[in-house]
């Protein structure tokens, strides 16, 4: 057989291959790669850099400021695209590559697709040790990029140009597989990037990737239907899988038809509109009273597309009914079988619809559905109180959330956040009306995701009003993609809540009996406290900025800057100690068994008591 071939460098083959991978969105064929983020160094500038330049009109390359920032932006792009499209990130070797490892873990936890293309050391080893090579005394095959292995769903090191053929094919399978979806790392040895090979032309044929919708196994389906039919007080936990499956309308009709209240995880929030009568809002540690009261009593949890992480299950102390049964409707068996659940391994949309067919006229106990609705009304009153306007000199996070909601909330808004005290408050209080209108990275809860995430969301969804809410700590950790957003004209709004330190960890420290130590700036070892002028800092990167002194001023600034052409940063000082009392649940944070501090002893007593209500296994 004589295959037609084309002579390309390995890097040129990677670039050309990426341009040929397509998907279909709203009936239209579009490239599945939304672009490439790149920071060049000696490990990728000559090989990958030359190749990306040649395809720049088809697949654009964006210069970022920090490899972790660009990778977070790429991951946010994929999340905001419901995993239907994604990006690639290329770095040099050594520090550039390892700056992306945290992001790889972030994508791994959150099951989000991203293609990492870090440069690697010379495969031929002739110049060893090359600049930035981490030399292992005992294993010549190890490089810094081996750090990607445990946080990649698929990892390969390319030491010969032809290896890229099976590697890229496998990469695409993983990136587009609903169950295995996550980061892929193809570690590209610097010399091999530049090496030519006669690639088969067919390797570059256009290929269309449409998400697989796995149907349920019949036995599992029958068992799940029987389980649900015997339940009187069922709830649905809606996880991120509902959004990624684009099963939000199916979830709404399922809940309505069978009278089952829905509670939402951080990744699943916005699966139902906030205003939907059966949407009880957030569940678990940062849950509403409406959700958590139902969770305590429920006899059946139908977990759809959820990893059931500790914040969702209140560290497994939330569910108090001894007869509790769990159905794990999940495309990934690892998740479906968690906590002895009845697995229903399938796509969320397929599973909900097949189950609904089998359930026929089944309805939850009407008094259960009514109880849910009453609980929601009660919660809404509490939430209203927490978010009401104020003239306080230092407002709470909840009051700032209220202001953002009033000024800019609505169906066109996507709210982005990741770490600090805000995720808990937003989970409870933000009112998302559109699927994907709430974008929270709470699988890894990575400080510094917020600003970069805002950029990625805006690139994916330019039509949306993207609002990033971020604490001073997270902002300090990684803010430089503000400059990238100015460069790319991808404008969004950042509301920066400055409580002068790590407010949520300070509160956690106090709750666990610890002394106020090393969290708020005032409690740190210091010679002088920095007075950080965040507005000036952001302005220096080209952002439109405002410093506001009150909630009414914040609302006015949000309205006034809504149509600014550039990324806008609005800074407000907030109170470090106030959080929303209503709702919520215990979270397992291990308290020291022995300590000289009386407060720790008291906290330990409470901790041991709480542990007794934890289900295990
Ligand atoms: C990269 C990273 N480092 C550390 C943590 C642990 N952590 C979670 S929240 C937080 C403090 C966040 O401070 P800030 O952004 O100011 O929010 P606040 O707690 O004040 O609301 C820390 C240190 C984390 N989640 N991510
Ligand atoms: Mg703070």
CA of 203 to the centre of ligand 2 (A): 50
Residues with CB under 5 A from ligand 2 (ion): 471-473, 499, 503
Q: Ligand 1, atom 9: nearest CA belongs to which residue?
A: 420
Q: Is the pLDDT of residue 490 over 90?
A: yes
Atom of ligand 1 nearest to the CA of 506: 19
Count of C-beta atoms within a 10 Å radius of residue 606: 14
CA of 574 to the centre of ligand 2 (A): 8
Atom of ligand 1 nearest to the CA of 476: 15
Q: Which ligand is nearest to the CA of 500?
A: 2
Q: Identify which of 17, 264, 369 has the alpha carbon closest to the alpha carbon of residue 165.
A: 17
Mean pLDDT score, 17-25: 98
Residues 6 or more apart whose Cβ sits within 8 Å of residue 112: 75, 78, 79, 83, 86, 106, 181, 182, 183
Are 268 and 262 in contact by the 8 Å Cβ rule? The answer is no
Q: Is the pLDDT of residue 364 over 80?
A: yes
**Whole-number pLDDT of residue 311:** 98
The answer to whether the 5-209 and 218-377 domains have the same CATH topology is yes
Compute the radius of gyration of the chain from its Cα atoms. 25
Q: Identify which of 451, 461, 447 has the alpha carbon closest to the alpha carbon of residue 414.
A: 461
Q: Is the pLDDT of residue 97 over 70?
A: yes
Q: Is the pLDDT of residue 615 over 90?
A: no
**Whole-number pLDDT of residue 1:** 67
Crossing angle for the helix pair 348-359 and 248-258, nearest 10 degrees?
A: 20
CA of 471 to the centre of ligand 1 (A): 8
Q: Ligand 1, atom 20: nearest CA belongs to which residue?
A: 503
Cα separation, 243 vs 238, in Å, equals 9
Write the pLDDT tens digit of every residue in 385-435.
999 999 999 999 999 999 999 999 999 999 999 999 999 999 999 999 999
CA angle 146, 152, 153 (to 5 degrees): 135
- Show the tokens assigned to 313: 């299950």
CA of 476 to the centre of ligand 1 (A): 10
Mutation test of ligand 1: which of 110, 497, 505 has the most ligand atoms closer than 8 Å to its C-beta?
A: 505
Ligand 1, residues at Cβ distance < 6 Å: 419-422, 445-448, 471-474, 499, 502-505
Q: Is the peptide bond before 129 cis (omega within 30 degrees of 0)?
A: yes
Q: Is the pLDDT of residue 182 over 90?
A: yes
Q: Which ligand is nearest to the CA of 421?
A: 1
Q: Which ligand is nearest to the CA of 473?
A: 1
CA of 466 to the centre of ligand 1 (A): 22
Atom of ligand 1 nearest to the CA of 397: 21
Write the pLDDT tens digit of every residue in 60-88.
999 999 999 999 999 999 999 999 999 99
Q: Mean of the per-residue pLDDT values for the chain?
A: 97
The class level of CATH for 5-209 reads alpha beta
CA angle 539, 98, 530 (to 5 degrees): 35
Secondary element (H or E) of residue 449 = helix 449-460
CA of 484 to the centre of ligand 2 (A): 24
Q: Which ligand is nearest to the CA of 401?
A: 1
Mean pLDDT score, 330-342: 96
CA of 579 to the centre of ligand 2 (A): 13
Write the pLDDT tens digit of every residue in 603-612.
999 999 999 9
The residues spanned by each domain of the chain are: 5-209, 218-377, 388-573
* β-pair type (465-471, 438-440): unpaired
Secondary element (H or E) of residue 34 = strand 33-38
Q: Which ligand is nearest to the CA of 498?
A: 2
Level-2 CATH architecture, domain 218-377: 3-Layer(aba) Sandwich (3.40)
CA of 497 to the centre of ligand 1 (A): 12
The class level of CATH for 388-573 reads alpha beta
* pTM of the shown model: 0.98
Burial of 276 (0-12, 13-18, 19+ CB in 10 A): middle
- Written as one string, the DSSP assignment of 359-377 is HTT----HHHHHHHHHHHH
Handedness of CA 219, 220, 225, 231 (dihedral sign): positive
């Amino acid at each position: 057989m004589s295959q037609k071939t084309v002579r390309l460098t390995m890097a040129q083959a990677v670039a050309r291959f990426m341009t040929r991978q397509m998907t279909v969105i709203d009936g239209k064929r579009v490239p599945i790669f939304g672009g490439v983020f790149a920071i060049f160094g000696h490990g990728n500038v000559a090989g990958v850099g030359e190749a990306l330049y040649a395809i720049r009109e088809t697949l654009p390359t964006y210069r970022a400021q920090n490899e972790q920032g660009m990778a977070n932006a790429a991951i946010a792009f994929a999340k905001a695209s419901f995993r239907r499209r994604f990006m690639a990130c290329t770095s040099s070797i050594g520090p550039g590559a390892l700056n992306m490892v945290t992001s790889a873990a972030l994508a791994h936890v959150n099951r989000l697709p991203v293609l990492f293309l870090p440069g690697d050391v010379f495969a031929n080893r002739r110049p060893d040790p090359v600049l930035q090579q981490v030399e292992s005394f005992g294993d010549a095959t190890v490089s810094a990029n081996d750090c990607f292995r445990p946080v990649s769903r698929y990892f390969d090191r390319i030491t010969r140009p032809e290896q890229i053929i099976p590697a890229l094919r496998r990469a695409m399978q993983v990136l587009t597989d609903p169950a295995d979806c996550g980061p892929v790392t193809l570690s590209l040895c610097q010399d091999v990037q530049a090496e030519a090979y006669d690639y088969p032309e067919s390797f570059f044929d256009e290929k269309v990737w449409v998400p697989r919708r796995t149907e349920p196994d019949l036995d599992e389906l029958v068992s799940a239907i029987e389980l649900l039919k015997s339940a009187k007080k069922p709830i649905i936990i809606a996880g991120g899988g509902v959004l990624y499956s684009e099963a939000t309308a199916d979830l709404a009709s399922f809940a309505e038809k069978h009278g089952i209240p829905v509670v939402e995880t951080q990744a699943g929030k916005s699966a139902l509109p906030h205003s939907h009568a059966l949407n009880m809002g957030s569940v678990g540690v940062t849950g509403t009273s409406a959700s958590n009261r139902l969770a305590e009593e429920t006899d059946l949890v139908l977990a759809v597309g959820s990893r059931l992480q500790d914040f969702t299950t209140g560290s497994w102390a939330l569910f108090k009914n001894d007869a509790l049964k769990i159905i794990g409707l999940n495309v990934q068996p690892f998740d479906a079988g968690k906590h002895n659940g009845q697995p229903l391994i399938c796509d969320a949309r397929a599973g909900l619809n097949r189950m609904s067919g089998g359930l026929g006229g089944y309805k939850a106990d009407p008094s259960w559905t009514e109880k849910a609705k009453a609980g929601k009304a009660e919660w809404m009153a509490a939430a209203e109180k927490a978010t009401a306007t104020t003239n306080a000199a230092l407002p709470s996070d909840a009051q700032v959330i209220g202001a953002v909601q009033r000024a800019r909330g609505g169906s066109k808004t996507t709210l982005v956040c990741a770490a600090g005290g805000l995720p808990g408050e937003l989970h409870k209080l933000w009112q998302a009306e559109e699927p994907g209108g709430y974008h929270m990275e709470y699988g890894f809860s990575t400080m510094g995701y917020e600003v970069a995430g805002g950029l990625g969301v805006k690139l994916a969804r330019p039509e949306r009003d993207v609002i990033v809410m971020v604490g001073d700590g997270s902002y300090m950790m990684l803010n430089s993609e503000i400059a990238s957003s100015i460069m790319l004209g991808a404008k969004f709004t950042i509301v920066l809540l400055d409580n002068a330190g790590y407010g949520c960890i300070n509160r956690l420290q106090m709750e666990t009996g610890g002394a106020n130590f090393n969290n708020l700036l005032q409690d740190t070892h210091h010679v002088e406290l920095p007075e950080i002028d965040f507005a000036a800092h952001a302005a220096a990167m080209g952002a439109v900025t405002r410093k506001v002194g009150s909630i009414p001023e914040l609302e006015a600034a949000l309205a006034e800057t809504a149509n600014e052409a550039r990324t806008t940063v609005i800074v407000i000082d907030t109170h470090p100690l106030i959080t929303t009392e209503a709702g919520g649940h215990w979270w397992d944070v291990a308290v020291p068994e022995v300590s000289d501090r009386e407060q720790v002893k008291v906290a330990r007593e409470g901790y041991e008591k709480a542990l007794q209500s934890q289900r295990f296994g």
